[in-house]
Structure 1
Amino acid sequence: MIVEMFFEDYEIGTERTSFGRTITEADIVLHAGQTGDFFPHHMDKEWCATQDFKRRVAHGTLVFSVGIGMTASTINPHAMSYGYDRLRFVRPVHIGDTITVRAAITEKRDHPKRNTHGFIVEAIEITNQDGETVLVCDHLYLVKRKQPAD
């Protein structure tokens, strides 16, 4: 779906929440193959059983990628992702855990060099099926203005 929004249209406090998505063994195996990260924490069930966490852990980068993908429901031709700040893997995600994403607009600021654009900051919080936070980050969007800033 295409939704046209300019910098001026975004409101601090606006939130959206995704549906849930269960992380599977196939997700972990595919991500390991794509990234080359075959550490035993992700791949070796028997080794994990000897560790404090007792079971395989999804890659943090997998949880991040899946979670951000879960928020990608619209296309705004006036905005683009500028990147992510303050990314933290707060708790492990295991095979069979279901994650949900909440995204909230927390900040609007001027672009330091271009008066035709501004930055929107969206706080991302990914939680598991128990409501525990597993990942947080700030998503930065570069968004075109309707009118140049003074």
Structure 2
Amino acid sequence: MPSIYYEDYKLEASRTTGGRTLTETDIVIHAGQTGDFYPHHMDAEWCKTQPFKQRIAHGTLTFSVGIGLTAGELNPEAFSYGYDRLRFIKPVFIGDTIHADVTIIEKRDHPKKSDMGFVVEQVRIINQHDDVVLACEHLLLVNKKEGESAC
């Protein structure tokens, strides 16, 4: 496990994940896990009468799969603090393949813990047509190197 400290994160550094195709099984399992059986996700015939003309993946499914794609090697110096500005921009359909683009957009000191800082990643989940379907900011709480001051 490589240690990546606050000081090691570079603004505008970016990475792109591999892709994952969402299936009908993904939608059914997610509905069972969450209790969200709305017809937008489950009723193919009803959806034919709606603007998208087909079932759409749950936004929370798109989020969880997309964020899961960003999980790489464990960094023992950082952990997820949460997500801000989460938006479901376009629908994701059965058979769509999504991937994530991640860019470091901000670094700031923790207001109360001088040995830690926040690193903010802009996460964009993108489908096979290069459409952004979801966007959010992922906040990481990261340890600073011993004896280091703010960067």
Distance 2:32 2:149 in 1: 46
Superposition deviation, residue 3 in structure 1: 2.2
**Which amino acid letter does the alignment assign opposite residue 42 of structure 1?**
H
TM-score by length of 2: 0.96
**C-alpha distance in 2, partners of 1:149/1:13?**
21
Is this contact kept in 2: 1:110–1:118, CA < 8 A? yes
Q: Give the counterpart letter for 1:68 in structure 2.
A: I
The alpha carbon displacement at 1:42 in A equals 0.2
Structure 2 unaligned spans of 5+: none
- Identity in percent: 60
Corresponding residue for residue 114 of structure 1: 113
Stretches of structure 1 that go unaligned for 5 or more consecutive residues are none
- Specify the alignment match of 1:26 in structure 2: 25
CA distance in 2 between partners of 1:3 and 1:39 (Å):
43
8 Å CA contact 1:123–1:136 kept in 2: the answer is: yes
Q: Which residue of 2 aligns with 1:138?
A: 137
Q: What CA RMSD, in Å, does the superposition of the two structures yield over aligned residues?
A: 0.9
Map of 2:128 onto structure 1: 129
Q: What TM-score results when the alignment is normalised by the length of structure 1?
A: 0.97
Aligned pairs for 1:61-80 (under 5 A) are 61-80=60-79
Alignment of 1:10-89 (within 5 A): 10-89=9-88
Where do 4+ consecutive residues of structure 1 move more than 4 Å? none
Partner of 2:104: 105
Aligned length, in residue pairs: 149
State the match for 1:149 in structure 2: 149
Q: Distance in 1 between matches of 2:43 and 2:114?
A: 52
Inter-partner Cα distance in structure 1 for 2:81 and 2:5: 15
Shift of 1:114: 0.5
CA drift of 1:57 comes to 0.4
**1:117 touches 1:148 (CA, 8 Å); kept in 2?**
no
In 1, Cα distance between equivalents of 2:3 and 2:148: 17
8 A contact 1:44–1:56 mirrored in 2: yes
Letter in 1 for 2:83: Y
Q: Give the AA of the match of 1:130.
A: H
String of CA shifts for 1:70-91, please: whole Å, max 9, x gaps.
0101100010000000000000
